[in-house]
């Protein structure tokens, strides 16, 4: 909070139906980099340490209320404009003093420092966040005068001279709670939309002789989302930020444009990420890891010096030890691969604990699901699992044990033991030639 003497209330407007998204999901719950737009806004607001955050939602928006927790929600039963929404929140939460910051859940990428500057500028009256738009057409215009901002005119209500202005309204506003309550009570729906506009507070503040400062932000910071195309554009903006942050922190991205991060991806120093790597939420990668091309990571931890991929998949609960190798077309789920262990080719390791230095041969699978329950496989340190082996859980392979290629292991293998479980090989001399001759005659007979 910028001023300890003035409690801050943040109001997040999230009641819109989002009909242009053509979705059964509320608009503000659509995700950018693995996090809903609403949670992006709430995370930035939380960084200001406000006294309270109030989220305005529509009726029958229980999923939005759940996503807003632990913050309180207020239902805007009748959607009568932004001014009505803010007034509804102020009344329901009985906010009468301190500062108020108004945010929009479909404007998800506003950085917390810009929010803080807006709160500070509006602490004793009212302040507006503006931006210079490359194509200002649909945005409300900020009409400036000798004393600063004079009024905000929505595009639908603007004349040609006003539409020629390039300074646009982001929608975000901050001000004194008592003053905002007074101005909102005087707002009237005398506009093309027949709504109560929050922006009318500017003209009311100016009528009282108050200056209304404008804080400016980059257009990318105030990108709004109303359509799927705009959601994709917001994703691109978020990814650009995340890529720059990763590289600034010491990671190498071979092809940044094809690397996709989640909002919470954590990469250590000297991590090298190959092309077309995807990070879903809850991934932690320590220093000096190499993640090769086309790998897919989610809910996993990769320790220092490990090598992942190419074409590897780490699913939730995978923990890769220091210096371990996970190779091409290897998938791990709820599995620990110990330090220095290797699974270099074509393996599925689910619900498994694999000891340090173990070697998992190509084509090995842990048969972890019996159709009803999941079971764990334990492979000891230094064990060697031959290619094309099936380990039927629950089963334990002891330290230093050896499993012969092509085995199906259904019972525990003691430490340093060798286990081979496959059918006996039978060789019949000349049988191949006889089979070919028989098949040739059958084919001719047809």
Q: What is the pLDDT along the chain (446 residues), one digit of tens a residue?
A: 444 457 999 999 999 888 899 999 999 999 999 999 999 999 999 999 999 999 999 998 999 999 999 999 999 988 788 999 999 999 998 888 999 999 999 999 999 999 999 999 999 899 999 999 999 988 999 999 887 899 999 888 899 999 999 999 999 999 999 999 999 999 988 877 888 989 999 999 999 999 999 999 999 999 999 999 999 999 999 999 999 999 999 999 999 999 999 999 999 999 999 999 999 999 999 999 999 999 999 999 999 999 999 999 999 999 999 999 999 999 999 999 999 999 999 999 999 999 999 999 999 999 999 999 999 999 999 999 999 999 999 999 999 999 999 999 999 999 999 999 998 889 999 999 999 999 999 999 98
pLDDT of 425 reads 85
Please report the pLDDT score of residue 1 as a whole number: 43
Asked if the peptide bond before residue 89 counts as cis, ω within 30 degrees of 0, the response is no
Catalytically annotated residue among 61, 84, 223, 345: 345
Q: Looking at the DSSP assignment, which residues form a beta bridge with residue 348? A: 331, 365
Structural domains of the chain in order of their starting residue, each with its CATH number: 8-222 (3.90.550.10), 249-419 (2.160.10.10)
Query: How many whole angstroms separate alpha carbon 188 and alpha carbon 184?
Result: 9
pLDDT at 5: 59
pTM assigned to the model: 0.91
Distance between CA 355 and CA 321 in Å, rounded?
Answer: 9
pLDDT at position 296 is 98
345 is catalytic: yes
């Amino acid at each position: 909070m910028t001023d300890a003497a003035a409690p801050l209330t943040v109001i997040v407007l999230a009641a819109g139906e989002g009909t242009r998204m053509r979705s059964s999901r509320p608009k503000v719950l659509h995700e950018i980099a693995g996090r809903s737009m609403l949670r992006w806004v709430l995370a930035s607001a939380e960084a200001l340490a406000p006294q309270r955050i109030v989220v305005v939602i529509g009726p029958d928006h229980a999923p939005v209320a759940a996503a807003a927790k632990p913050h309180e929600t207020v239902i805007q039963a009748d959607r009568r404009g932004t001014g009505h929404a803010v007034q509804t929140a102020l009344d329901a939460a009985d906010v009468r003093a301190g500062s108020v910051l108004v945010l929009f859940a479909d404007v998800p990428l506003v950085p917390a420092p810009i929010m803080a500057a807006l709160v500070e500028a509006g602490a004793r009256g009212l302040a507006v966040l503006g931006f210079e738009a490359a194509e200002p057409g649909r945005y409300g215009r900020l009409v400036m005068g000798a004393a600063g901002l004079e009024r905000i005119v929505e595009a639908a209500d603007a004349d040609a001279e006003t539409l020629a202005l390039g300074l646009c309204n982001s929608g975000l506003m901050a001000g004194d709670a008592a003053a905002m309550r007074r101005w909102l009570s005087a707002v009237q729906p005398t506009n093309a939309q027949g709504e109560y506009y929050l922006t009318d507070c500017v003209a009311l503040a100016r009528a009282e002789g108050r200056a209304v400062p404008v804080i400016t932000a980059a257009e990318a910071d105030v990108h709004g989302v109303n359509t799927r195309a705009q959601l994709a554009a917001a994703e691109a903006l978020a990814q650009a930020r995340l890529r720059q942050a990763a590289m600034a922190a010491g990671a190498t991205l071979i092809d940044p444009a094809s690397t996709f991060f989640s909002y919470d991806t954590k990469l250590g120093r000297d991590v090298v990420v190959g092309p077309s790597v995807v990070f879903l939420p809850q991934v932690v990668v320590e220093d000096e890891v190499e993640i090769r091309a086309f790998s897919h990571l989610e809910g996993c931890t990769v320790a220092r010096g490990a090598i992942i991929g190419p074409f590897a998949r780490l699913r939730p609960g995978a923990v890769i030890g220091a210096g371990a190798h996970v190779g091409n077309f290897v998938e791990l789920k709820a599995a620990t691969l110990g330090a220095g262990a290797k699974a270099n080719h074509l393996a599925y390791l689910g619900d498994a604990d694999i000891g340090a230095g173990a070697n998992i041969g190509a084509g090995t699978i842990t048969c972890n699901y019996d159709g009803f329950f999941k079971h764990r496989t334990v492979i000891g340190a230094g064990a060697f699992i031959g290619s094309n082996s099936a380990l039927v859980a629950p089963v334990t392979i002891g330290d230093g044990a050896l499993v012969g290629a092509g085995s199906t292991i259904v019972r525990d293998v003691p430490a340093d033991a060798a286990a081979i479980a496959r059918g006996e090989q039978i060789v019949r001399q000349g049988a191949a030639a006889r089979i070919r001759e028989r098949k040739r005659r059958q084919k001719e007979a047809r």
